[in-house]
Amino acid sequence: MNVSSLNYKSSAAEDTLNVVSKSQDIVQQITKSCEEIVVGNTTLMKELLDNVEKVAHSHAPTVLLQGESGTGKNSIARIIHQKSQRASHPFMEINCASLPETLIESELFGHERGAFTDAKQMKKGLFEMAEGGTLFLDEIAEMTLATQAKLLQAIEGKIFRRVGGTENLKTNVRLITATSVDLKKAVQEKKFREDLYYRLQLITLLVPPLRERIEDIPLLVNYFIHKFNESYKKQISGIRREAEDLMRRYNWPGNVRELKNVIERIAILENQTLIEPAHLPEEIVMSEYESTAPFSIPSGGVTIEEMERCYIREALRKSRGNQCQAARLLGMTRHTLRYRMEKFGMVSENFESHSN
């Protein structure tokens, strides 16, 4: 495992900021290979990167990468190739969702001259072009059942035919596939061939969503600051603690890609040296409000007294008028609750028949 630490610049007001230099203390687990870098220091990521390393050096013929969009599946596929003995041979990739069925077959297996109207020349497919190396099939769940059958044949027999061809061609590629959907479920729904599924899932690596490894956020933020400082000739030195807290509380549906875009946008648009909450997109700032506020303020406003009255009434309803229980729910003594009920004229109200 290539474990190294990045050297970042320090900043003056370290106590209020998550300055980039603070990451020097953390043992940073970074799998680096040529252009691809995958950053992560959480147990989940360490385990994943360990397995990536093992799989890369093994002779495993197929690897399945399963994870939500933007979690780093493409990056990991490239790393597996670059760290393998196949690294001096080509790495070819195709997104199965991007082409119609007829084209995808000719892309994968090539075609003979005259195989179809536009086939003016013989064309090699990705299986041939990746010979000795790695073929990465992204969004494999989108492949039609007919193409799945041909793929299975190529994996099992290590031979294939170009579209319109009669010659059996030998193949020696490692097949890495990726999907953001549950392939097992697709098998149950008869959208994916079971036999192919069992071939592909021999080694399955689960790439965790960012919200399950929020401890990686500071490391990723620092890494992208460093990266985009270089790209855009900026001098961002760190992120203010409040901004980092907002990032930690956000759900990150777009995963690392979304976080990367946030930092890149800031690097392009802002000229300050620190990332502030105000620089963050609305959805990140608003998510804090949505996730922490158990109520919403009406547009016409509300007084604290009205809110208090509301909460007392709700606590009494929940506890069917039992004042001791209601006081406990509100974190006050029964005496205080009684005093407030009198103040708001609630003593004669009947809460016994209400409950949730």
Ligand X SMILES: Nc1ncnc2c1ncn2[C@@H]1O[C@H](COP(=O)(O)OP(=O)(O)OP(=O)(O)O)[C@@H](O)[C@H]1O
Which residues sit at the interface with ligand X, rule CB under 6 A? Answer: 37-40, 67, 69-75, 138, 180, 256-257, 260
- Binding site partner of 75, from Mg ion, ligand X, none, Cβ cut-off 5-8 A by kind: ligand X
Min. distance of Cβ 241 from ligand X in angstroms? 22
Bridge partners (DSSP) of residue 275 are 239
Closest chain position to Mg ion (CB): 74
- Binding site partner of 256, from Mg ion, ligand X, none, Cβ cut-off 5-8 A by kind: ligand X
Min. distance of Cβ 255 from Mg ion in angstroms? 11
Pick from 71, 42, 58, 83: nearest CA to 179: 71
Main-chain dihedrals φ then ψ at residue 159, nearest 5 degrees: -135, 155
Min. distance of Cβ 17 from ligand X in angstroms? 22
- Binding site partner of 70, from ligand X, Mg ion, none, Cβ cut-off 5-8 A by kind: ligand X
Which one, 128 or 138, has the nearer CB to Mg ion? 138
| Residue pair 175/62 in contact by the 8 Å Cβ criterion | yes
Min. distance of Cβ 75 from ligand X in angstroms? 4
Number of H helices and E strands in the chain, helices first, is 14, 12
Closest chain position to ligand X (CB): 72
Pick from 206, 150, 203: nearest CA to 180: 206
Pick from 176, 177, 97: nearest CA to 133: 176
Min. distance of Cβ 103 from ligand X in angstroms? 19
Min. distance of Cβ 79 from ligand X in angstroms? 10
Which one, 39 or 326, has the nearer CB to ligand X? 39
- Binding site partner of 175, from Mg ion, ligand X, none, Cβ cut-off 5-8 A by kind: none
Q: How far apart are CA 71 and CA 49, in angstroms?
A: 13
Q: How far apart are CA 296 and CA 25, in angstroms?
A: 41
- Return residues touching Mg ion (CB under 5 A): 73-74, 138
Q: How far apart are CA 46 and CA 334, in angstroms?
A: 52
Which one, 177 or 237, has the nearer CB to ligand X? 177
| Residue pair 92/132 in contact by the 8 Å Cβ criterion | no
| Residue pair 279/265 in contact by the 8 Å Cβ criterion | no
Residue 336: CA atoms inside 13 Å, Cβ hemisphere, count? 11
**Which residue has tokens 């000795």?**
132
Which one, 73 or 78, has the nearer CB to Mg ion? 73
Main-chain dihedrals φ then ψ at residue 204, nearest 5 degrees: -110, 125
Min. distance of Cβ 46 from ligand X in angstroms? 12
- Binding site partner of 237, from Mg ion, ligand X, none, Cβ cut-off 5-8 A by kind: none
Which one, 192 or 351, has the nearer CB to ligand X? 192
Q: How far apart are CA 127 and CA 111, in angstroms?
A: 12
Which one, 75 or 171, has the nearer CB to ligand X? 75
- Binding site partner of 39, from ligand X, Mg ion, none, Cβ cut-off 5-8 A by kind: ligand X
Which one, 70 or 238, has the nearer CB to ligand X? 70
